[in-house]
Amino acid sequence: MPADLQTALRILLDEVNDGFRDRVVIGGLSGFFQNFVRSAGNAEVAKAAALLQDYGSLDHDRRVARINAVLKMLQETDGSQPAAPARRVDGPTTRVPKADRPWTWLAAPAPGTTLSTPIESLQGVGPVRARLYKRLGLRTIGDVLFHFPLRHIAYPPPVPIAQLFFQQEASIEGTLARLEVEDLRRGLKKLHAYVRDGTDTAHAVWLRHGVARIGVQAGQPIALSGKLIQQGRQLIFDNPDYERADGPRVHTRRMVPVHPLTAGLTEREMRNRVHWAVAYFADAVPDPLPQTIRAQHGLMPMGEALRQMHFPSSPEGAAEARRRFAFQELLTIQLVVVQRRLHAQHDPAAPLPRHDAVLRALKDGLPFTLTAAQRRVTDEILHDLALRQPMTRLLQGEVGSGKTAVAALALLNTIATGYQGALMAPTEILAEQHFGTLSQLYSAAGDQLEAVLGRRPHVTLLTGSVKGRERTRIYAEVADGSVDVLVGTQALIQEKLEFARLGLAIVDEQHRFGVRQRVTLRRRAADTVPHLLVMTATPIPRTLALSLYGDLDLSTIDQMPPGRQFPRTVLLDPEDRGLAYERIRRAVAKGEQAFVICPLVEESEALEAKAATEEYERLRIGELKSLRLALLHGRMKAADKDATMRAFRDRQLDVLVSTAVVEVGVDIPNATVMLIEGAERFGLAQLHQFRGRIGRGDRPSVCILLSDLAGPGANERLQAVVDTTDGLKLADTDLRLRGPGDFFGVRQSGLPELKVARLDDAPLVESARSAAVAILERDPELSEPEHAALREHLEAFLVRASEPS
């Protein structure tokens, strides 16, 4: 190909790489080609100049079409030149597959191709390869654009071959002098390539299974990037990345992306596909970030960010692109929570002023005195309840810190001011437990309450097993106001139940979280909304709380009731498992009970259930065969789970073998041993929660961690659980070490998938929050045109977040 054409081609390919923005030559492509015709005077260049005459004034799609027309023309010119045949030692002639030809992949997308075009309709993909892409969650061109690389390899710019030295990563450009194939054992081939650049000849080798081709032929320009090794006195590129030197830089001489892959998909194919998608479609992606926000926070626009994310021009470019997408993810979450908060403040609540006499009556009847922390959070809650603005508060306190007593006080105050309360639990058995506790506390103070209130509080339990006439009666009593407090599972209470005057709804989430839910109950009263209190046992670091519960005010019980014996925690080697079973047998012999928690299997609940079942069978006929064992896992029917939990609570069982997803939040004061298998797979905060389930009685208790990791230092994380009883400290450590997904255990986190952001990036979380506030203060429903893309993005996000995980 003549040098003029090569120059023209290079510039056009640069234009493609740059996303068709007409910035690669000063003055624009059109001006450049007009001048170029004068100096080159070649027919193809003249034709190109004519085609590109109005390039600067075209929109993106037309530019793509125009450039492709020119490329096609030049390519045909190139194709007419016979390529020098590759010299081969043996084997059939190299067949160059279509996809490997230097710029066939650049073929313009077929007309009508858009971001949502399915991958299988693309040239060179087809149903078989599409299945591989699907395995990575990639269905459309848009998905490919957001298939972000794990990292980049920073290849240096090319140097003359004579300047190469050993043991460094290097890039060269030259002419492929020859390609040789050496047949090794079992279809394994070794390809040798010799590349000349006028200063010297370089030697490259690749080991391949079967395929003996690189898609570049002898006589053609080639570029290599990779590691140099020394063999004898020779310097050899060992399995380098390579490509035609006169095409776009996709695999060599730059920072190249390393994408998540699946078996059957090579990085080379993925890179080509991503590069193609970025070239043609990066600028077609609507940017949800409004211009003003981008300017304020110094964030790249979408198209540029996608280019830099995959094919960065520098490490700084890559970092800036990541920051932009991280910001976008965090902003999305913050918009959800801030918007929810604004909505919640919209309608008035009934003020429920503090009723000191009735509160005193209950406190006098308690079998203990409240801790200072319990008194403080109770005051915070009562202060909110007295306002016309609906309370939305998160009550955070470790397992056993006494949240129920606080809830009992808040509910009683609600009753005293003439309103009803609801208390919701995640499972039936927990609802029963709350019902029992409330009834007990209120009846202990019954006489005094009757004196101040004029009656005893009427607490009712509504569960799935309440049927027929009984159920109808409860509905009626809730509707006419004769039920003071209704306790039940969330699902039950959210049914079409009508309250006469619901003043306060309390949700005990235990360790379940979610940006989802928590909305429906708000509609339970005629002209006012009820106050809302969410209780949780997991200590949540502030940045995370802001993301998950940014719409809630926070109250923390940071003190345990006196005399509580925290379980001793020990870390055992797997070989010493026998000691753990011995400890369980001893406890049972004393009439105590034990939990065995099975390892977390993140991939699927089904696998986890299977593993737990096997463990149960193993123990039942082995180490614990003389004991009464039961199994509990997430795949069991709700009724069976409840029945098992009840039997355990009522001491008809000695040992409960359970998976982690199962609610173990029920009080079993008689349980004194907890054995946690595969402890290294759990978050520290999660382990801390588990062990909070034991040691609730007055006997000493022990939590035994078994780790499958061996070797010194492997279990440093777990050692932290042994060494500290401070849940918040553990949570912080864990969030730093492993990120939020692992922190909660992915499946129960209820967290939206974050590809780039880290919730522990406090400054970025804070600035996303302030951006969300600024946007919504100006445009609460995101109805301005400037926010159209943002609104669409948010709606898509909410749809995804509401899909069951």
Binding site for ligand ADP (CB under 6 A): 368, 370-371, 374, 397, 399-405, 537, 561
* Cα–Cα distances in angstroms (integers) from residue 384 to residues 182, 397, 410, 530, in the given order: 80, 19, 11, 12
Lookup: tokens for 36 = 């170029």
CA 363 to chain centre: 44
Quick one: 371 or 547, whose CB is closer to ligand ADP? 371
Lookup: tokens for 270 = 């993925």
Quick one: 257 or 695, whose CB is closer to ligand ADP? 695
Rounded CA-CA distance 105/107 in Å is 5
Annotate 745-781 with DSSP letters as a single string. Answer: -HHHH-PPP-SS--TT-HHHHHHHHHHHHHHHHH-TT
Quick one: 8 or 405, whose CB is closer to ligand ADP? 405
Quick one: 283 or 398, whose CB is closer to ligand ADP? 398
Quick one: 442 or 616, whose CB is closer to ligand ADP? 442
Quick one: 381 or 624, whose CB is closer to ligand ADP? 381
Query: Is residue 390 a contact partner of residue 550, using CB atoms and an 8 Å limit?
Result: no
In the complex, what is the shortest distance from the CB of residue 453 to ligand ADP, in angstroms, rounded to a whole number? Answer: 22
Quick one: 438 or 782, whose CB is closer to ligand ADP? 438
Lookup: tokens for 85 = 């045949």
Quick one: 284 or 362, whose CB is closer to ligand ADP? 362
Annotate 670-706 with DSSP letters as a single string. Answer: TEEEEEETTGGGS-HHHHHHHHHTS--SSS--EEEEE
Amino acid at 729: K
Residue 703, strand partner residues: 569, 674
In the complex, what is the shortest distance from the CB of residue 414 to ligand ADP, in angstroms, rounded to a whole number? Answer: 18
In the complex, what is the shortest distance from the CB of residue 449 to ligand ADP, in angstroms, rounded to a whole number? Answer: 18
Quick one: 459 or 754, whose CB is closer to ligand ADP? 459
In the bound complex, which residue of the shown chain has the CB atom lying closest to ligand ADP?
A: 402
Taking alpha carbons only, the member of 251, 258, 223, 257 closest to residue 237 is 223
* Cα–Cα distances in angstroms (integers) from residue 512 to residues 174, 492, 517, 541, 662, in the given order: 60, 17, 11, 16, 11
Rounded CA-CA distance 706/683 in Å is 14
Residue 424, strand partner residues: 488, 507
In the complex, what is the shortest distance from the CB of residue 596 to ligand ADP, in angstroms, rounded to a whole number? Answer: 22
Amino acid at 506: I
Taking alpha carbons only, the member of 664, 716, 718 closest to residue 692 is 664
Distance between start and end Cα atoms, the chain: 56
Quick one: 239 or 443, whose CB is closer to ligand ADP? 443
Sign of the torsion formed by the C-alpha atoms of 612, 615, 619 and 623: negative
In the complex, what is the shortest distance from the CB of residue 502 to ligand ADP, in angstroms, rounded to a whole number? Answer: 22
Quick one: 367 or 454, whose CB is closer to ligand ADP? 367
Quick one: 403 or 641, whose CB is closer to ligand ADP? 403
Query: Is residue 581 a contact partner of residue 715, using CB atoms and an 8 Å limit?
Result: no
In the complex, what is the shortest distance from the CB of residue 368 to ligand ADP, in angstroms, rounded to a whole number? Answer: 3
Taking alpha carbons only, the member of 259, 252, 267 closest to residue 173 is 252
Quick one: 278 or 412, whose CB is closer to ligand ADP? 412
Query: Is residue 214 a contact partner of residue 190, using CB atoms and an 8 Å limit?
Result: no
Query: Is residue 384 a contact partner of residue 393, using CB atoms and an 8 Å limit?
Result: yes
With b for 16 or more beta-carbon neighbours within 10 A and e for fewer, the 715-735 pattern comes to bebbebbeeebebbbbbbbbb
Adjacency order of strands within the sheet including 702-706: 568-572, 702-706, 671-676, 593-597, 655-658, 629-632
Quick one: 322 or 696, whose CB is closer to ligand ADP? 696
Quick one: 245 or 399, whose CB is closer to ligand ADP? 399
In the complex, what is the shortest distance from the CB of residue 430 to ligand ADP, in angstroms, rounded to a whole number? Answer: 10
In the complex, what is the shortest distance from the CB of residue 395 to ligand ADP, in angstroms, rounded to a whole number? Answer: 9
Taking alpha carbons only, the member of 708, 729, 494, 488 closest to residue 599 is 708
Rounded CA-CA distance 125/116 in Å is 15
Quick one: 431 or 537, whose CB is closer to ligand ADP? 537
Lookup: tokens for 673 = 């041993």
In the complex, what is the shortest distance from the CB of residue 268 to ligand ADP, in angstroms, rounded to a whole number? Answer: 55
Sign of the torsion formed by the C-alpha atoms of 234, 239, 240 and 242: positive
* H or E, element range at 208: strand 201-209
In the complex, what is the shortest distance from the CB of residue 356 to ligand ADP, in angstroms, rounded to a whole number? Answer: 19
In the complex, what is the shortest distance from the CB of residue 386 to ligand ADP, in angstroms, rounded to a whole number? Answer: 24
In the complex, what is the shortest distance from the CB of residue 437 to ligand ADP, in angstroms, rounded to a whole number? Answer: 7
In the complex, what is the shortest distance from the CB of residue 409 to ligand ADP, in angstroms, rounded to a whole number? Answer: 11
Kindly report the length of the chain.
Answer: 805
Q: How many CA atoms lie within 13 A of 321 on its CB side?
A: 22
In the complex, what is the shortest distance from the CB of residue 654 to ligand ADP, in angstroms, rounded to a whole number? Answer: 22
In the DSSP assignment, the letter for residue 708 is: S
SS3 of the chain: helix, strand, coil, percent, to 5 = 45, 15, 35
Quick one: 371 or 707, whose CB is closer to ligand ADP? 371
In the complex, what is the shortest distance from the CB of residue 408 to ligand ADP, in angstroms, rounded to a whole number? Answer: 9
Q: Which residues contact 483 (CB under 8 A, 6 or more apart)?
A: 420, 458, 459, 460, 474, 477
* Cα–Cα distances in angstroms (integers) from residue 48 to residues 36, 38, 74, 108, 497, in the given order: 10, 13, 9, 17, 73
* H or E, element range at 393: strand 392-397
Quick one: 375 or 542, whose CB is closer to ligand ADP? 375
CA angle 711, 715, 717 (to 5 degrees): 155
